[in-house]
Amino acid sequence: MALRQDDGFAGRADDVYEILVRGFRDLDEAESAAFTTRLVLILAHEVGDPEVIREAVALARRTLRAEALADPGPASV
């Protein structure tokens, strides 16, 4: 299975965004980080395909800050 490229929200992206925003409401920085970690693990479990998760991680890193998070490759000695 490959990472989805279609509208997986079936036109309800705004509803999903609102659900996510509400999930973070009233959380401090530490709680927000813990919530993010738990949510990612729950959703990764739901996806259940390591290759799809690998693709999603790569896409997230590429689109976050391309220059700052560029994979430097193997460490040089």
Residue type, 68: A
Mean of pLDDT values over 58-68: 82
**In whole angstroms, what is the distance from residue 37 CA to residue 19 CA?**
16
pLDDT tens figures, 15-52: 999 999 999 999 999 999 999 999 999 999 999 999 99
Q: What is the pLDDT of residue 72?
A: 62
Structure tokens that stand for 61 in this block:
């890193």
- pLDDT of 70 over the 90 cut: no
Among residues 69, 48, 59, the alpha carbon closest in space to that of 5 is found at 59
Residue ranges per domain, the chain? 13-64
Q: Which residue in the block uniquely carries the two structure tokens 């609102």? A: 18
DSSP per-residue letters across 34-49: HHHHHHHHHHHHHH--
**7 φ/ψ sector (left φ>0, alpha ψ -120 to 50, else beta):** beta
- pLDDT of 69 over the 70 cut: no
Mean of pLDDT values over 49-73: 82
